[in-house]
Amino acid sequence: MEADEIYGLLDGQAFHMCGDEFSVAIGAQGWEITLYQPPSAQPELRYPKRRGKPPAALDPAFVERASQLLKVRARRMHAEVAADWPRLSTKPDQLGRLEHPLGGNRLAAKWYCLHCDGEHTGQAMADNLWHCTACGASPIDIFPEPFWEESSQPA
Ligand SMILES: [Zn+2]
């Protein structure tokens, strides 16, 4: 997927917004708000340092409006991420089971995060595009059983 870029005006301030399937960002000179792929992610406001000029803090109301624009753009990112996934990766079956989008052909109703040990329902995984809702780990860290716990117990 190609990154795209659009330009606009918000409260008289010129901005650009760009995005690909991993993150979307809105900004202008001196500020940038980034929103990463997990639907549970929160917008992150940054003031990149420019030589010789201390950044001017933005009006919180402006930041809120810019973040709302970014969230609208993020919906397209989320749809694009899931577009190539099997149907059972985005919608659980009648038993609440899902299939991992990156393969394995395993159906499970509970999924575990290798990163933080979190336990998640299939629906929670579908809603957050297979990112851990607790720590934000990516889909490659999500497994149908916590094999790391079994291996640490005496045989
Ligand atoms: Zn986690």
Domain segments of the chain as ranges:
4-83, 89-150
For residue 40, how far is its CA from the centre of ligand 1 (angstroms)?
12
Q: How far apart are CA 73 and CA 26, in angstroms?
A: 10
Region 89-150: CATH code: 2.20.28
Would the pLDDT of 136 be above 50?
A: yes
Ligand 1 centre to CA of 141 (Å) is 8
- Taking the centre of ligand 1 as the mean of its atom positions, its distance from the CA of residue 104, in whole angstroms, is 20
CA angle 135, 128, 106 (to 5 degrees): 95
Q: What is the pTM of this model?
A: 0.82
Strand partners, 27: 16, 32
Alpha helices in 1-155 (DSSP H): 60-82, 122-127, 147-150
**Average pLDDT of 79-87?**
92
**Side-chain-side CA neighbours of residue 37 (13 Å):** 15
What is the distance in A from the centroid of ligand 1 to the CA of 98? 18
CA of residue 56 to ligand 1 center, whole Å: 35
pLDDT at 1 over 50: no
Query: How far apart are the CA of 149 and the centre of ligand 1, in A?
Result: 15
Mean pLDDT, rounded, for 60-75? 95
Among residues 70, 45, 65, 40, the alpha carbon closest in space to that of 131 is found at 40
68 neighbors 15 (Cβ within 8 angstroms): no
pLDDT for position 103: 81
What are the CA-CA distances from residue 105 to residues 86, 102, 108, 144, 148 (Å)?
10, 9, 10, 11, 20
